[in-house]
Structure 1
Amino acid sequence: MTVIVRKAVLPDDLPALIRFMGHLHDLEHAIDPARQTAADGADPHMRYQILDAQQNDGLVALAETQGGLPVGMMVCSVETFPGEYLYPSESRVGYINDLWIEPEHRGGTVLDDMIAMAEAHFKALGLKILMLSYLVGNDRAGAAYAKRGFRPNEVQMKREIS
C-alpha cells in the first residue's frame, strides 16, 4: 500500500494528529509512568507542538494512504541550544519532536519519507544537523533510527529525589 507524507492541513488534520499523539503518549506512559497518558495530555501536547512548530520554523506532517486514511504524523521545529559550548553552526538544528507511525505501516518507507521531508525542510533553512530523541526502553524506535544513520549524541539520566 502506497503512503504519502504531506504537510498537515490545520485544522482539518488536527483530530488525526491528536489521535496519533495519544498513541505515542500511551506507548511512552507504559515505559515511563511519569509520561502522561493520551487521556491526560495528548490534545494539549499536540496543540503545543503545533504552536512550537509554527513559531520555530517547523513542520507538521501527516502520512496517509492514497485513499486518504491517516497512518502517521511528525512534528519538527528548529531548536537552538543555548550557551557557548557548541560552534554556532552546530547550535541551531532541525529537531524531530514527535513521530508516530501506525504499527501496520512500520517497516516500510513511511519513516524514511518522513525523515526525508524533515531533512529537506531544514536543509532549505540552511541547517546542517537533524536530531531526534526517543525514550529509553522504546528499543524498536531506537533501532529504526540507528538504521537510518542517527547515532547517540548525549544521554540524559534521571533519578527520583528521595
Structure 2
Amino acid sequence: MSPMTSGDYVIRAIRADEWEAVKRLRLVALRDPVANIAFLETYDDALKRPDSFYRERAASSAQEPSGARQFIAETADGEWVGTVTVLIEEAGSTDWAGFPVERRQGHVVGVFVRPEHRGSGLLKALFDAGVAWAREQGAQRVRLLVHEDNPRARGAYRKAGFVPSGVSVQLETHAGKREFELVLEW
C-alpha cells in the first residue's frame, strides 16, 4: 500500500527500522490525559519494555503478509503526529477478550492523535488507510472498542463512520467500566 496524503500529512505504514519512533509515539500517547481509559498499558509499563519489544512490533507490522499493520501520520518535517494499528482477526477464532470471531475482520487498536492535531480530519485519514489495508486482507468489517467514559473518542469514531454494534465488554483493568464496540461494515 502506497502512502496517502491528507492535507499537511502523509499517512503510511511504518517500516521495520522505525522502531525507535514507534516507541517514542507510544510513550507520548500513554501520557495523554485519557490514556488510563484509552489504552490497556500504562506509561511506566511501556517504558520498562526492552527495545527488542519495539523492534519486534515494528518488524511484525512491516512484514508481508502480516496480521497487523500500524499506520502513522507524518508532517512534512518528519514528526509523527498520529497512529492507528489494525489487527486481523480470523473467523472461527476468539478475540483477546474471549469472544468468538464470526468473520474475518479488522480490529483497530492504539488510536492516538496529538492534541494539537485533533479536529483536523487526521483521524479519519488514518482510519481510511487502516480500513483500506483491512479490506485488502479480506476483512469483512473493522471494529474497535471505546471506553464508556471517553465520549470525545466515541464522537470522533462515529464521525469517521463507525456505528455501535450493541456489544459491550467489561475489563478488569477499568474497574468494571464498559467498553463499547463500534463497527464499520461494507
TM-score, reference length from structure 1: 0.77
Equivalent of residue 74 in structure 2, options 59, 64, 76: 64
Q: Within 1, Cα distance between the matches of 2:35 and 2:120? A: 26
CA RMSD of aligned residues (A): 3.2
Structure 2 portions without partners, runs of 5+: 1-6, 177-186
More deviation in 67-76 or 51-60? 51-60
Segments of 4+ moved more than 6 angstroms: none
Q: Which has the higher contact order (CA 8 A, sep 6+)?
A: 1
Structure 1 portions without partners, runs of 5+: none
What one-letter code is carried by the residue in structure 2 that aligns with 1:73? T
Residue in 1 aligned with 2:12? Answer: 6
> Percent identity of the aligned residues?
22
Equivalent of residue 156 in structure 1, options 150, 154, 169: 169
Residue in 2 aligned with 1:141? Answer: 153
SS at match of 1:115: helix
In the alignment, is residue 39 of structure 1 matched against residue 44 of structure 2? Answer: yes
More strand per residue: 2
What one-letter code is carried by the residue in structure 2 that aligns with 1:120? A
In the alignment, is residue 18 of structure 1 matched against residue 23 of structure 2? Answer: yes
- Whether the 8 Å contact between 1:78 and 1:95 is mirrored in structure 2 is yes
Q: Within 2, Cα distance between the matches of 1:77 and 1:43? A: 24
Q: Within 2, Cα distance between the matches of 1:77 and 1:104? A: 27
In the alignment, is residue 101 of structure 1 matched against residue 118 of structure 2? Answer: no
In the alignment, is residue 111 of structure 1 matched against residue 115 of structure 2? Answer: no
Q: How many residue pairs were aligned?
A: 156
Q: Within 1, Cα distance between the matches of 2:138 and 2:170? A: 31
What one-letter code is carried by the residue in structure 1 that aligns with 2:24? R
TM-score, reference length from structure 2: 0.68
More helix per residue: 1
